[in-house]
Structure formats: C-alpha cells, structure tokens
A and B are shown apart, each in its own frame.
Chain A
Amino acid sequence: MINKIVASMEQAVSDIKDGDVVMIGGFGSSGIPFHLIEALRLHKAKDLVVISNNAGVGEEGIASLLRDRLVRKIVCSYPRSYGSIWFERLFEENAIELELLPQGTFSERIRAGGAGIGGFFTPTGYGTKLAEGKETRIIDGKGYVFEKPLSADVALLKAERGDRWGNLVYNTAGRNFNPIMATAAKLTIAEVSAVVEIGELDPECIVTPGIFVHRVVVRKGGPV
C-alpha cells in the first residue's frame, strides 16, 4: 500500500540537509508553499541553494529564509520586486550569490531536469549579457544559447488537493512552476488544502501524477 501522506509540516521537511538544493514553487505570492517554507526555516538547514522564480517580499516565505541567512545562493528570474527588502539587503552586502535567468530558460531548465534531457538550445538571451560565457550555436540562421538542466535535492510545492498516491491538482494560476518542479527533485513535498480519496480526482484533470510526488501534507490555518 502506498501512503505518501505525512502528519506534519515539520516531519515533511525533517531530513533536508545543510547545503541542499531546494526548488520552491510560486510566482509572486501565488502558489507559494508558505507552510513548508516556514517549517524549513524552523528546521534551520543552512547554506541552501534556492531555485525559485522570485526572491521573496516582506518578511514571509523565501524572504524569511534570506533574513535568517539560511540561503547561500538563489537561482531565479525576477529577484527584485516591490518589497524584496531582504534580497536587496543581502545582495548589497554581497551575502548571497545570484544566478539570474530569463524566466522561460529558468522553467525549461527545470523541465529538462525532470525529463532526463541533458540541455537545450534556446534563442532567448542570445546576444545579451545573460548569455555571456555560455555556448552558442547558429541553427538555420538563428542564434541560440545552450542551457543545462536544473535539478534539486528537494522541491517544495503548493497544490490545492492531493491523494495518498501523490496525485495533485492546483488552484488557478497557483499552478505556475509547481508541476515542473515536482518532476525535477529527488524528494518532492507538496502542501495541500485537502487530501481526497484515491479515485476522487478526475484522471483527465490530474495535473501532477503521483509518480513525481513523495510526500503530501495538509496545511492548517495560517496564510493561504
């Protein structure tokens, strides 16, 4: 019998280690696994490499990991937003390494990481500063940049509902990076609003099949 449901956020993140590479779903404040991030912060693993589209705003979510100085490096496309005070402070202090990627390159590298692809050529960024030092090629007269796959030790996701096999569905645009990150980590953990019975999720509509998911944990109260 397969049962991926774990009892608490704390238990879900308990074996994340210092130096781990952690993918975190979300775009802006949508689709962010705030409860898992808070458990990770309290767990105190440090020197983390965080792969997430943004670098957090205010004091919550990824910003709280930066504030507690648990993150060595961040890989993202849009670290600077209104209210990204902790990222800006650490960047100014030279206390965090930044790998900046065009958003489509960011998500495609994660997709490649989860799909066993050894890299790809993208036209995005060709001839710009973000392609400096990267291999390029002209294919049928058009310039492309070679990008390697991205994978992680752990992925933290937010979904709407899940079952004990790890099948997941999402809430509207909260989907964003969550389904691709689910595929690209050795340990994928999803926080959900509710767990449903096996067979209850419409198989035509399951977004993330359970094969990619290792732990499912229900969030209780707190920020959405």
Chain B
Amino acid sequence: MNPIKTEDIARRLARDIPDGAYVNLGIGLPTMVANYVSPDEEVIYHSENGILGVGPAPERGQENPELINASKQFVTLLPGGAFFDNAQSFGMMRGGHIDIAVLGAYQVSAKGDLANWATNDEKYPPAVGGAMDLAVGAKQLFVLMRHTTAKNEPKILEECTYPLTGAGVVTRIYTDLAVLHVTPEGLRVHELHPGNSFEEVQALTGARLLPPI
C-alpha cells in the first residue's frame, strides 16, 4: 500500500483538465486543483455565487470584501472575467455549460451515485448549497477524495448509505490509491498509483472493481 498525498491527488486530477475548460471547483480540497493546472492553459473557473474567471487570492491589503468564492475566501477576477446573479450562475450549471465540476464526497457508489451533503445524524443541521445543482448539471463530475475514511472504512460502495446528492452523476473518482472511471460495465480502475496493486485497492473498496484495460 502506498497512498499518495492529497496535493498529489489534486495534481493528478489537474492533468485531466483540458485547455479551455469551464470548471467549478467545490469547497474544500477541490480548490487545490487550481494550483496544479498548467499556467500555459486557459481554464476558466466558475464560482457559484456569480463569477466566471476567478483568479488567485489577492495580495494582503488588496482584498475586496465583496469579491469572494464559494468557500467564502477572498479572490480576484482575471481579465475577461464576469459577474452575474445567482440565478444565472445556477442556470450555467443545470443548463450543461460547465465542463467539469470537482467535488469532495463522503461516499460514491459503483453506479456513480454521490453522497456529499449530509450524514444520517439528524440533530446536526443540514446544509446543501450548490452541490445538487452541480451534480446534475456539470458535463463531467470528478470526485476528489481519500479512498477510505480515517477509520479505513471504504467510501466507494455498491450503494451509498448516506443521503444522495445525485444519482448516477459521478464520472471519475480520484483517490490516494487510484483513478477510477464510472463506465456502463461498472467501476473500472483506470490507473493505480505506483506501489498499489489491484487486489489491495479492491480490498479497500466496498464495490466490485474492473481491472485496468
């Protein structure tokens, strides 16, 4: 077993973002992906509150308190960027205009079901934000997560046990052990990170995997 670091998962995922893509990075770990996209590529980042062309964090002292991303962090706008209202922003998602969304997950099923907004703990107040709209609307949905929970329980399952964000919406899963593709035949290991065998990854997965082609 040889899990890679979280920033290396982000680095691996960034390689699969093509030049010219319109991309929405979910809150938390997915925001790291922007650090690894080649500066030679023009990738346009969408932020759900109403921005296209999100740029890097501002210099200290240069923050505009109104200019924040979905994670509520101060950002900048790149030349060519635009602001719009939230209804138009979510029209971009549902209308299929966002090429790739990158989200974290509690659980993903072999069919590409995503659970990332709530656990089964009823006393904990729920919050959903834009996750469900992104899940149904983005042309491709990449999940970036560790392969198992902190207790080594599988997060990739035949069926999710947590409430669903969307059914059959995930197209790829990038973990610290492997890259997996959701295909009509089933969940296929596309690539194993060095030092991990198919059998080892299968043992830490709660769904049957197809070997790399």
Using Cβ atoms and an 8 Å threshold, which residues of chain B touch A178? 85
Cα–Cα, bound, A177→B87 (Å) = 8
Using Cβ atoms and an 8 Å threshold, which residues of chain B touch A39? none
Encoded as 1 (CB less than 8 Å from any B CB) or 0, chain A from 125 to 166 comes to 111111000000000000000000000000000000000000
CB of A180 closer than 8 Å to a CB of B: yes
A108 is contacted by which of B65, B68, B90 (Cβ under 8 Å)? B90
CB of B24 closer than 8 Å to a CB of A: no
CB of B64 closer than 8 Å to a CB of A: yes
Using Cβ atoms and an 8 Å threshold, which residues of chain A touch B64? 171-172
Encoded as 1 (CB less than 8 Å from any A CB) or 0, chain B from 41 to 74 comes to 0000001111100000000000011111000100
Using Cβ atoms and an 8 Å threshold, which residues of chain A touch B123? 92
CB of A188 closer than 8 Å to a CB of B: no
Q: Say which size band chain B's interface belongs to.
A: 35 or more
CB of B77 closer than 8 Å to a CB of A: yes
Q: How far is the CB of A25 from chain B (nearest CB, A)?
A: 10
Cα–Cα, bound, A58→B5 (Å) = 34
Using Cβ atoms and an 8 Å threshold, which residues of chain A touch B130? 77, 102-104
On whether the beta carbons of B127 and A77 are closer than 8 Å, the reply is yes
On whether the beta carbons of B87 and A107 are closer than 8 Å, the reply is yes
Which of A2-10, A43-51, A79-87, A213-221 lines the interface with chain B? A79-87
Interface size of A by Cβ–Cβ distance < 8 Å? 48
B51 is contacted by which of A78, A110, A123, A173 (Cβ under 8 Å)? A173
CB of A124 closer than 8 Å to a CB of B: yes
CB of B36 closer than 8 Å to a CB of A: no
Using Cβ atoms and an 8 Å threshold, which residues of chain B touch A127? 164, 166-167
CB of B213 closer than 8 Å to a CB of A: no
Using Cβ atoms and an 8 Å threshold, which residues of chain B touch A172? 51, 64, 66-67, 77, 83
Using Cβ atoms and an 8 Å threshold, which residues of chain A touch B118? 129
CB of B136 closer than 8 Å to a CB of A: yes
CB of B7 closer than 8 Å to a CB of A: no
Using Cβ atoms and an 8 Å threshold, which residues of chain B touch A173? 47, 49-51, 66-68, 83
> Looking across the interface, which residue of chain A has its beta carbon closest to that of B114?
A128
On whether the beta carbons of B68 and A28 are closer than 8 Å, the reply is yes
CB of B86 closer than 8 Å to a CB of A: yes
Using Cβ atoms and an 8 Å threshold, which residues of chain A touch B137? 104, 123-124
Cα–Cα, bound, A122→B133 (Å) = 9
Cα–Cα, bound, A110→B91 (Å) = 13
CB of A41 closer than 8 Å to a CB of B: no
A175 is contacted by which of B72, B85, B90, B93 (Cβ under 8 Å)? B85
Encoded as 1 (CB less than 8 Å from any A CB) or 0, chain B from 84 to 98 comes to 111101110110000
Using Cβ atoms and an 8 Å threshold, which residues of chain A touch B166? 127-128
Using Cβ atoms and an 8 Å threshold, which residues of chain B touch A176? 49-50, 85-86
Using Cβ atoms and an 8 Å threshold, which residues of chain B touch A104? 87, 90-91, 93-94, 130, 132-133, 137
> Looking across the interface, which residue of chain A has its beta carbon closest to that of B54?
A173
CB of A31 closer than 8 Å to a CB of B: yes
A30 is contacted by which of B68, B77, B127, B163 (Cβ under 8 Å)? B68
On whether the beta carbons of B127 and A100 are closer than 8 Å, the reply is yes
CB of A88 closer than 8 Å to a CB of B: yes
> Looking across the interface, which residue of chain A has its beta carbon closest to that of B115?
A128
On whether the beta carbons of B66 and A78 are closer than 8 Å, the reply is no
Using Cβ atoms and an 8 Å threshold, which residues of chain A touch B131? 102
With A28-B72, A87-B125 known as contacts, the answer to whether A180 contacts B86 (CB < 8 A) is yes
- Using a CB–CB cutoff of 8 Å, the interface residues on chain B facing chain A are 47-51, 64-68, 72, 77, 83-87, 89-91, 93-94, 118, 123, 125-133, 136-137, 163-167
- Using a CB–CB cutoff of 8 Å, the interface residues on chain A facing chain B are 27-31, 53, 77-81, 87-88, 91-92, 98, 100-105, 107-108, 110-111, 122-130, 170-180, 207, 224
Q: List 9 A-B contacts (CB under 8 A).
A: A30-B65, A30-B68, A78-B127, A102-B129, A102-B131, A103-B86, A103-B128, A122-B94, A179-B85
